[in-house]
Amino acid sequence: MTQAPAFETDFWKDANLRKVWDEIVPGEPRKTIPYKLTLEAIQLYCRSVGEDHPLYFDEAYAKTTSYGGLIAPPSIHILLMFACTPTDDWMRTPGTINAGQSWSYNKPARPGDAITLQARALDKFIKRERLFVVHDNVFFNQHGDVICSGRGQTIRPA
């Protein structure tokens, strides 16, 4: 599995290559990149929201639970979304505003998982002069299990 060389933190880079609202085709699959989820990435995400549960930090404890080992918190899809998004994708367009999300959880993600994302815009509409896109996302692990699936809405920069 190929891994992106290093995560590009400059969201202006390749901005000229990204689709604007007019060009987004609902139903068309987005190009995504596979991502190896590391323990370090899980724990950095955990620290950013104050997560300190031993299921994410203490392997000896986690092995005694029904999970059988360390897991990531359900909300790890927040990280996976950007980890699996290439630099020329419109998810990274500066000024993209998140208008709401709903997520369903199946299997926990675990350190070492090889994550893939299937994603597309499902719908787009205009409401009170604002340009909305409805996102449809499903994350899988290396066994082909669904980790979680989610629908989100963003307001696109005009």
Partner 1 sequence: MSTSFENLAVGDTINGPKFDVSRESIRLFCDGSLDYNPLHLDDDYMKNSFGKTNFGGIIMHGMNNFGLITRMLTDWAYPAGAIQRRLETRWLKPVKPGDTITPVGVVKSKQSTQKSRWVLIDVLVRNQRDEHVAAGEAMVEFPLSGSTVA
Is residue 75 within 8 Å of 104, Cβ to Cβ?
A: no
The interface mask with partner 1, positions 55-94, x = CB under 8 A, is x----------xxx--x-xxx--xx-xxx--------x-x
Residue 47 lies near partner 1 (rule: CB under 8 A): yes
Nearer to partner 1, 78 or 114 (CB): 78
List, in sequence order, every residue forming a beta bridge with 95; answer none if it has no partner.
Answer: none
Residue 48 lies near partner 1 (rule: CB under 8 A): yes
Q: Take residue 5 and report the two structure tokens written for it.
A: 């060389």
Rounded CA gap, 25 and 56, in Å?
38
What radius of gyration, in Å, describes the C-alpha atoms of the chain? 17
Least CB distance to partner 1 at residue 24 (A): 17
88-147 binders of partner 1 (CB under 8 A):
92, 94-105, 107-108, 129-130
CA 37, 142, 59, 78 dihedral sign is positive
Least CB distance to partner 1 at residue 115 (A): 13
Residue 6 lies near partner 1 (rule: CB under 8 A): no
Q: Which member of 10, 58, 59, 123 binds partner 1 (CB under 8 A)?
A: 10
Q: Take residue 116 and report the two structure tokens written for it.
A: 């893939």
